[in-house]
Structure 1
Amino acid sequence: MKRYTFLAVFCILSAQLFGQAVDRELLITPEKTNYTQTSTYQDVIDFTTLVTKNSPYVTKISLGTSLEGRDIPVFVLANPKIETAEEAKASGKPIIYVQGNIHSGEVEGKEAVQILMRDILTGNKKHLIDNQIILFVPIYNTDSNDKMDEEVRRSQEGSPLKTGKRSNSQGWDLNRDGMKMETLETNGLIQNIIVPWDPTLFVDLHTTNGTWHGYSLTWAPSYHTAGEKAPYDFTWDKLLPEVTENVLEKNDVHLGPYGYYYTRQEGWPIKSISTYNHHPRYLVNQFGLRNRMAILSEAFAHERLYQRINSTHSFVAEILEFTNKNGQEMLKINAKAEADAIALVKNEGGKVQKGVRFKKVPLDKPIPSYRTYNHMETTNQRGQKTYLRKPEIVELKNIINYSAFEATQTATLPKGYIIPKEFADIAQHLKNHGVEVVELTKNTRAKGEVYTATKLNRAARPFEKHKMATIEGSFQAANKKFGKGDYWIDLAQPLANLIFYLLEPESDDGLVTWNFFDQYFDDAGIASKVVEYPIFKYFEVK
């Protein structure tokens, strides 16, 4: 009985833990249900309708419509009010995009975003829109949110009792779709939000898959691969350390670097942690190729829902405090990264190499003190050595952090690419990403390289409904003639690094990887002869 009394009191007072008293009608679903339930889609719509009602600081726009017909709302918070992307750019303010519920089982981002909207529009955080424009998307994966089941997200240990499923209603993982853009959600995000609004910082809210580290939340930046390094450096060296320190000081919540480990491999105590992959299919990583900053937030799966909401809310609130103060510096860093990407093409195109495939390597400096649950050595029923988790948290010293990436294969950065008119779908895909593509109006000669493919390999098992492809072959110098209707891409443009990663034939996350050219290669007889990759990379146009 005492337990339920405590939970009821906690529910009523929970908003005060975030620094304010709140009318009961403005409580979110977890607060009203002792944190046993997460918000349904309709709950989110009802709450956001109420909390934004009559506000002079909010505009509701649409990211798009899901397969099942649900609107994906975006709430633009600004003072003074901003209604369009053009107004936002004209304001000169940084634009911060915060997204919850990309995986519908990972619910705390959805709830934390609603609380932050309440904080800003009706509470004590209105100052967070003084110097910046915030785009809040509380429920990105709308269709799968309400397909709730007790068996989903077992690592969250029944808190909440039920959650939605990971994939969208088309069966795709929305956080593996950044390059191929097959889902309605990704197309809406890129075409309707990212391209026109051009966020300075992209924040994506998740829950970990269960590693027993000792942090309430772990984070990662947009990992640096073929992109410009400055946005990563600022995020890693300044933004994340300062936010982490402030969250601990203000909220007594421990944050740390994202990573996993396996005692089966290293024994105990562990010596290293390892982050996730570098591929720009992950939305956060793609922003590095767009010369922008991004942050991955991963709440600790084994904490209770109210704790995960608290850590996510604390983290995002402190990010917004930081960006509200430092947004102009962030804009300058991003602008310089963009200018550097363009200058490299203009000055070194046809000469310099950039990575197209990468391996994970340790950072130069280890983690001085790493929080994790303790483990003890024992044996299993077969007499084999194993390690069991103990209930206390310990701090391990000088843990190697595999969170950097080193090129294992490179390709020459060209001045640009030319796409034959028969591949209009490829040109359109690039346009959907925001790439500037020009249709030739007259015959043009170009000097550069052509890639001759000798073999196309496909994975034995599908990943995201694709049997991922890799190509073998080599580049040869060539002069080619192109005609009216072919597509010309000058690489001296803001998305130079993204274009390079998409179009290079040996890229580990490009259009070849995602089977965009499989039919062409098969029809051309790749199984029995060499075939020319149809995209020409030019170093000079005559």
Structure 2
Amino acid sequence: MKKLIYLSLFFISFQITSQHVIDHNLLTIPEKSNYEKTSTYAEVMSFINEIQKKSDFIHIEFMGTSKEGKEIPLVILANPKISNPEEAKLSGKPVFYVQGNIHAGEVEGKEVLQQLIRDILLGDKQHLLQNQILLFAPIYNTDSNDKMEKDRRPSQEDSPIEVGIRENSQGLDLNRDGIKMEALETESLITNVLVKWNPEILVDLHTTNGTWHGYGITYAPSYHSVGESGTYNYTWNTMLPEITKAVDANYHVKMGNYGYYYLQESWPPKAIYTYNHHPRYIVNLMGLRNKIGILSEAFAHDRFYKRMNGTYGFVAEILEFTNKNAQKIVEINAEAEKNAIENVKNNAGKITKGVRFKMIALDENIENYRTYNYIPFIDEDGKQQYARGTHIIEVPNVTNYAKFEATVESKLPSGYYLPKSMEFVVNHLKKHGVKVEELQKNKTVKGEVFLIDSFKKSDREFEGHFMATAEGNYVSKTTTFKKGDFYIDMAQPLTNLIFYMLEPQSDDGLFTWNFFDNYLASKKVNSKKVEFPVFKYFKK
């Protein structure tokens, strides 16, 4: 009997001691505070510095520095250790990037990425470094993270008690800056992560603001619009369905399509509506770069620990999928890049592509949409109102407005010419990774120029801009460009991004963001027709 007791105690002791016990310094702030607090910038950096001492598979660099002088950490996890993009390329493993805290009030991603760093390096997820190199940016919006106050996000019901603010210290929303790249953080992300490390996937971690849907996490792919369909199709039809099932099975979290419904439209909801297609959103920008983008939105009304569990589960299962399908993802993205370039070579001057879009419904409805119920009632004025109920229902056959159809199109060129006076535009394109040739001698070319008939600016300010729109048409012209002017060959990887940024009628291009306002004003655009200073060229 004594032997049996000793044997039982031995096995119990073995099971306990075989579990990984971490140092208290590697607990995150939510874990230490019973999920009442979120990490400060100093606490995130302390965590990173502490875990760096305990593993050979971590490298830390900084993608940039904020306005207030805080370095933005980029954590590179790889086995064996990788310290630069050249080593990553030689390893043959693809790079995948995940960022948290783009909006500093939405803190789940920041905390979850710390947990995942810990679990990948020291815990039960070390296998995730077999076939991939992982780049994590846990605290992207460094400055605003520490501007913490109560009641900052009412839908989170003070869970945690205090969080930071949405905009960065320049007053900019970092998730509206993908094209104009005015924020120091955005320029750092694009130049020192997307261009430098060239990740195959970007995952952006958020928390929703309001709708009482019935999902712990909602998601969206990169809406490709003028991009290639291959990356979108793989994300939407293969990746997300498989990952959704895995998150439900392993983390007991229901996931569904990102979208909002409106009680004033109908109850129960007949339709949900996603966010816009614009590449000002970082996830959508990836589609124009022939890469995969995934948006994660934790359910704001859940308690903090539940939002963390859902976000952790989603990211973990994304990484399980990418680890298993790493080379397939590389192939999908490479095919998209090849198709984009071949489309220019074969079809420039023959086809048009969308520059303005409207949201339309997907062909397939959501079979059963989960949402908290609402109770209709008549108020004292005799009007019908709704009180939110306490349980989740499933509404059948809900239309999903998550597709975009072109309303304005423009002809795909072989290339664009820009005069030397537009060098600031060229430099902006270069920061995005666009290849630009400077002319070494004068060159006369036939092509088209957009003749602006009307130029308007919005009455309302948005992100420090009064958005511009143009009406007009392209006319044939022969022009001589001089030595020192610029030519952009469209047969290059970022061709779809270039097209979207340079077309004057694009709904999220450089024209929209006022890059050409000073030029147009100098030409007295409101009193006469003015040529847009970007020349469209077509090879014969």
**TM-score normalised by the chain length of structure 1:** 0.95
2:300 aligned counterpart, secondary structure: coil
Q: Is the 8 A contact 2:215 2:254 kept in 1?
A: yes
Is contact 2:207-2:298 (8 Å) kept?
yes
1:25 & 1:337 partners in 2: Cα distance?
44
Whether 1:172 aligns to 2:172 is yes
CA contact (8 A) 1:89 1:197 kept: no
Q: 3-state SS of the aligned residue for 1:265?
A: coil
**Offset, 1:386:** 1.6
1:523: how far off? 1.0
Q: Which residue number in structure 2 is paired with residue 532 of structure 1?
A: 531
Report SS of the residue matched to 1:540.
coil
What is the match of residue 434 of structure 2? 435
Report the secondary structure of 2:416's partner residue. Answer: strand
Asked if the contact 1:452–1:530 (Cα under 8 Å) also holds between the matched residues in 2, the reply is yes
Distance in 2 of aligned mates of 1:483 and 1:506: 26
* DSSP 3-state at the match of 1:263: coil
SS at match of 1:436: coil
* Paired-residue identity, %: 56
Q: How many residues align?
A: 523
Separation in 1, partners of 2:256, 2:58: 33
| Cα displacement (A) at 1:22 | 3.4
For 1:419-470, what per-residue CA distance to the aligned partner results, in whole angstroms no more than 9, with x for missing partners? Answer: 1001110010000000001100011122211000011100001000100000
Q: Is 1:193–2:188 an aligned residue pair?
A: no
Post-superposition CA distance 1:306-326 (Å, at most 9, x none): 001110001000000000000
Contact 2:360 2:403 in 1 (8 A): yes
Task: State the Cα deviation string for residues 481-534 of structure 1 (Å, max 9, x = none).
Answer: 111000100000000000000000000000000000111111100111010000
Displacement of 1:21 in angstroms is 4.7
| CA displacement at 1:344 relative to structure 2 | 0.5
Asked whether the 8 Å contact 2:417–2:537 carries over to 1, the reply is yes
What's the counterpart of residue 480 of structure 1?
Answer: 479
Amino acid at match of 1:123: G
Unpaired runs of at least 5, structure 2: 1-15
Supply the AA of the counterpart residue of 2:525.
I
Cα distance in 1 between the residues matched to 2:416 and 2:262: 44
In 2, the alpha carbon distance for the partners of 1:445 and 1:92 equals 44
1:254-269 equivalences in 2 (<5 Å): 254-266=254-266, 268-269=267-268
Q: Which residue of 2 aligns with 1:278?
A: 277
Aligned-partner residue type, residue 252 of structure 2: D
Alignment of 1:500 with 2:503, yes or no, is no
The corresponding residue for 1:462 is: 461
Q: 1:21 and 1:246 mapped to 2: Cα distance?
A: 26
Q: Does residue 1:158 correspond to 2:158, yes or no?
A: yes
Q: Is the 8 A contact 1:362 1:402 kept in 2?
A: yes
Write the distance in 1 (CA, Å) between the matches of 2:513 and 2:248: 42
Q: Give SS of 1:185's match.
A: helix
**In 1, are the aligned partners of 2:251 and 2:309 still within 8 Å (CA)?**
no
Matches within 5 A, 1:388-403: 388-403=387-402
Q: Which residue does 1:119 correspond to in 2? A: 119
Q: How far has the Cα of 1:250 moved from its partner?
A: 1.1
Contact kept? 2:437, 2:487, Cα under 8 Å:
yes
Deviation at 1:213, TM superposition (A): 0.2
Change in CA separation of 1:437 and 1:381 when aligned onto 2, cut-off 3 Å:
farther
- Determine the structure 2 residue equivalent to 1:411: 410
Match of 1:290 in 2: 289
Q: What is the Cα deviation at residue 20 of structure 1?
A: 6.1
Please identify, of 446-455 and 411-420, the stretch whose mean Cα deviation from structure 2 is larger. 446-455
Cα distance in 2 for residues equivalent to 1:48 and 1:156: 27
For residues 177 and 396 of structure 1, what CA distance do their matches in structure 2 show? Answer: 36
Inter-partner Cα distance in structure 2 for 1:200 and 1:459? 36
Q: How much does 1:472 deviate?
A: 1.1
| Alpha-carbon separation, structure 1, partners of 2:227 and 2:519 | 29
Q: Distance in 1 between matches of 2:47 and 2:455?
A: 51
Aligned residue for 1:213?
Answer: 213
Question: Within 1, Cα distance between the matches of 2:63 and 2:391?
Answer: 44
Q: Distance in 1 between matches of 2:212 and 2:23?
A: 37
Distance 2:415 2:300 in 1: 45
CA contact (8 A) 2:101 2:140 kept: yes
Query: Superposition pairs for residues 248-397 of structure 1, below 5 Å?
Result: 248-266=248-266, 268-397=267-396
- Does the 8 Å CA contact 2:151/2:157 hold for their aligned counterparts? no
